[in-house]
Amino acid sequence: MSGARAVRAVKADRSRLPAPRTSPALPFPAIEKATLESGMRVWTVRHTQVPLVAFMLLVRRGAASDPAGKDGLAAVTADMLDEGSGERSAIEIHEALARLGAQFDTDIGSDATVASVSVLSRFSQRALGLLSDMIVRPALRAEDFARVRQLRLHRLTQLRDMPGALADRAFLRLLYGAHPYGHSPIGSEATLAAMTIDDVRAFHARAIRPAVATLIAVGDCDHDHVVRLAAEAFGDWSGGAGLDASDGAPVPQAPAITVVPRPRAPQSELRIGHVSAARSTPDYHALVVANTILGGQFVSRINLNLREHKGLTYGARTSFEFRRLAGPFALQASVATNGTAVAIRESIGEIAGIRGERPVTADELALGIAALTRGYARNFETGEQIGRAAMQLALYDLPDDYFQQFVPRIEAVTADDVSRVTARHLDPSRLVTVVVGDLDAIGAELASLAEAAPAVLSPDSI
Amino acid sequence: MNISFTKETLANGLEVLLHEDHACPIVAVNLWYHVGSKNEHPGHTGFAHLFEHLMFEGSEHHDKGYFQPLQGAGATLNGSTNADRTNYWEVVPTGALELALWMESDRMGYLLPALTQAKFANQRDVVLNERRQNYENRPYGLAPMALLAALFPDDHPYHWTTIGEIADLQRVQLDEVHAFFRRYYHPANASIALAGDVDAGEALALVEQYFGEIDPGDAVEPVGASAGLQHDVRIRFEDRVELPRLYLAWLTPAMFADGDADLDLATDLLANGKTSRLYRRLVFDERIATDVSASQNSREIAGYSQITATAAPGHTLAELETAIFEEIARLAADGPTDDEIERGRVQAEAQFMFRLQTVGGFGGKSDQLNAYNVFLHDPAYFDRDLARYQTVTSASLGAAVGRYLDPRRRVTLSIVPEGRAALAAADSAVAVVS
């Protein structure tokens, strides 16, 4: 068969890579906005590639609003939203969603709770009706709460065996202590065990309110029509801004290295970082560029070092988690047990390097900026992507032209800017390292990394 | 619901699929090689996937990392390997299509001169770390190894997982890499799909310009193998987990074969989401399980269905096993209700739409075109694929459940906490997994 095949005689020019041509820009689509009497905002974006509509209801209250001693309340409340409404049981609510072919999801973070439903556009009205039933009129029955809480307790039990989840939870606690960001949304065994359905009802009444809610609809839909449907569906929702998160307690300084023992673990799960910048920082764009170069892409300094040069990991990355209050900077990687100390030393060296003795080069800067800007259009291909982008505007009070401004603002970042903002927002002397790994195998080596011996935190105490 | 496309075949055998969609100024480049872990042999497993890693380490005319020029052009890119195929994709801004084709064609035509022992050794370490991270150091992470090994005989190419055996990965030599490349990585064993902001004619000319010169290579013979379970294979192993978990698995029809869509819907109806029969019974009403899930995993030459449930504290895997088989028997005897069938249909329609929202990446239109082209030689299969689901009836679904989810011919795997072997389902033999 191959013998009959012909090969093109003229060979392509492979002496150099073809330079990319300029690509058309994709303006971020217009957001049409309305505000209902209740204060709930309704934002729509027309996106008609496929006959789908994505609805997202953002409430600017999340796990950071958990009252003292009730860690996990916001999350369990979010989990109770789809557990029945009016006469309908949890199962019946989900059967109704399934008849629409809907994708339904709730998502909880520190600063927000989001319920989203995506459907074929012909089911828009019914989808909005169901969404409002769940958000505004959840049944919040004691019997359902008992079951949901029990499942969450089982989940917590299982998380004890997941190195990544252990590392995340230990890291947050060490970084933030009693601050509203110091616990993961799921809470703890003790706080969940003490919680009651009355706590959930009170939290729902005080935190899930129209004055802090934005409904975003993206797809094959008309603004006026969506506003009319939303006014009908959410017409009886009322209440002012209600409960808010506290501004945050001062954060503690944790030991340099903490080990969560996992005997015989073949890898060590690492988190390295400290409390850093809020979403509102004027240094946002420069930090995004800095992070791209340091650990935000495949060819970042950290990934090339730990994966491509040393073969210690499947992948390593860094991120600034920008939130309403100062969020964490974190490096994360899962590394071979016998390379744990090397990986930590190299990681801290890279963080120190970019803010000090090894500032970004012109090539690195150009690559980082190009990676962030040239393919920017692909971030807005689907209705769901556009909706998530619009949600950022609603959550962080960003201006409507934020996405138009993103590319020029990133392009304006200089190497000096990167040095300045990394020096300001990264501090090697404050870095906290969490290792979930085999203490017997790595303890001695870790002791050589810091002045004090590593602290040890039992998995059961997290 | 169909998407428009054109299909051309270059003189060297490379199949080219082109789909225009000008909504967003991006192009998806999606290249499938019809090779996966199914083409490996015992003692040499994990190779197709390790090879995928090596494809990102540079080729003769660009002997540097593969990511840098493409990311610098604003692309996102990745690749993946499964039992049946390996795919590579880039999603690039419109103006960077030629760069992506240059890069993809250089590693198809000119990989070996740039492939050194040092790169090979480094990526083997990376893959061993990938295996530790995603399988060994993850609770229940070795379940796929145990299930596939019990479902398929030793010499069947679905007997092992795509990540491969540790010992095999440690043993593999560079000369095997060269032989593998020559055998599988060439135009006669590949299909490329371009979807997005392109002119089909111009795009085809660019593909011809960059790929046309590559030697066709020898056609690859299809892999054939058969498997059959004669009884209930009951196995167990201990793992660092808190709660015991039961896995049930059956041999089922291959991808697109009769019964595949019935079982896909049946497994959804049994155990996916809060409306499913097993969720309702095990998790919602009786509360004997913390979670339950199911899937029909259809592959090119065979399939397997799987149901997984974790026992709630104080409950046994025996309780789960009994309840699950009662529900299977009821579904087989009575079939689904009209409401279940109707929900299955509308969900299938919606799922198709969700899948076609993007031009590429993992999934999207370019990847779907390639899937239909490589497995069925029929990239226009969209409508008929959806029709497979729309024509399932209560009777056909019930019959497929009765025939394939047979309690007498299955694998029953228990994974239990360390030191708690007694929590396994009765009569289970110790399985050796690594």
Going by C-alpha positions, the residue among B215, B203, B216 that lies closest to residue B101 is B203
As a whole number, mean pLDDT of residues B83-96 equals: 98
Task: Give pLDDT tens digits for B262-312.
Answer: 999 999 999 999 999 999 999 999 999 999 999 999 999 999 999 999 999
* Contact residues on chain B for A146, CB-CB shorter than 8 A: none
Contact B346 A99 (CB under 8 A): yes
Strand, coil or helix: A360: coil
pLDDT confidence tier of residue B228, bands split at 50, 70 and 90: very high
> Residue for token digits 């009497």?
A37
pLDDT of residue A461: 85
Strand, coil or helix: B380: coil
* Contact residues on chain A for B19, CB-CB shorter than 8 A: none
Q: Which residue has the higher pLDDT, B42 or A86?
A: B42
pLDDT of residue A87: 87
DSSP letter string, A252-269:
P---SEEEEE-TT-SEEE
DSSP letter string, A14-82:
-SSPPPPPPPPP-PPPPPEEEE-TTS-EEEEEE--SSSEEEEEEEES--GGGPPTT-TTHHHHHHHHTT
Length reported for chain A:
462
Spell out the residues 6+ positions from residue A292 whose beta carbon is closer than 8 angstroms to its own.
Answer: A300, A368, A371, A372
Spell out the residues 6+ positions from residue A450 whose beta carbon is closer than 8 angstroms to its own.
Answer: A256, A257
Contact A370 B73 (CB under 8 A): yes
Cβ under 8 Å to A: B residues 232-291: 240-243, 273-275, 280, 283-284, 287, 290
Rounded to whole angstroms, the Cα distance separating B240 from A25 reads 51
* Contact residues on chain A for B347, CB-CB shorter than 8 A: 98, 101
pLDDT of residue B1: 62
Residue B310: its H or E element: strand B303-311
As a whole number, mean pLDDT of residues B244-250 equals: 98
Going by C-alpha positions, the residue among B40, B63, B42, B71 that lies closest to residue B112 is B63
Angle at A276 between CA A275 and CA A282, to 5 degrees: 155
pLDDT of residue A120: 94
* Contact residues on chain A for B358, CB-CB shorter than 8 A: 381-382
Q: Retrieve residue B318's tokens.
A: 């025996």
Going by C-alpha positions, the residue among B103, B102, B93, B106 that lies closest to residue B198 is B93
What ipTM describes this predicted complex?
0.94
Contact B129 A314 (CB under 8 A): yes
Shortest Cα distance from B61 to chain A (angstroms)? Answer: 6
Phi-psi region of A140 (alpha: psi -120 to 50; beta: other; left: phi over 0): left
Check if the beta carbon of residue B318 is closer than 8 Å to that of residue B345: no
Report residue B387: phi and psi, to 5°. Answer: -60, -30
Rounded to whole angstroms, the Cα distance separating A352 from B374 reads 49
Check if the beta carbon of residue A207 is closer than 8 Å to that of residue A37: no
Check if the beta carbon of residue A229 is closer than 8 Å to that of residue A128: yes
pLDDT of residue A2: 43
Shortest Cα distance from A241 to chain B (angstroms)? Answer: 33
Give CA A342 to chain center in angstroms: 29
Alpha-carbon distances, residue B245 vs B139, B274, B291, B320 (angstroms): 11, 19, 10, 9
Shortest Cα distance from B53 to chain A (angstroms)? Answer: 11
Determine whether domain B6-211 maps to CATH 3.30.830.10.
Answer: yes
Q: Which residue has the higher pLDDT, B1 or A377?
A: A377
CATH architecture of B232-430: 2-Layer Sandwich (3.30)
From B417, which residue of chain A is nearest by alpha-carbon distance?
Answer: A161
Contact B125 A312 (CB under 8 A): yes
How many percent of chain B have pLDDT more than 90?
97
Task: Give pLDDT tens digits for B375-421.
Answer: 999 999 999 999 999 999 999 999 999 999 999 999 999 999 999 99
Q: For residue A229, which amino acid is it?
A: L
Domains in chain A (CATH in brackets) are 32-233 (3.30.830.10), 257-461 (3.30.830.10)
Residue A105: its H or E element: strand A103-108
Determine how many CB atoms are found less than 10 A away from the CB of residue A218: 28
CATH 3.30.830.10 range(s) for chain B read 6-211, 232-430
pLDDT of residue A8: 87
Low-confidence spans in chain A with pLDDT less than 70: 1-5
* Contact residues on chain A for B281, CB-CB shorter than 8 A: none
Q: Is B393 on the interface with A (CB under 8 A)?
A: no
pLDDT of residue A428: 95
From A158, which residue of chain B is nearest by alpha-carbon distance?
Answer: B242
pLDDT of residue A245: 75
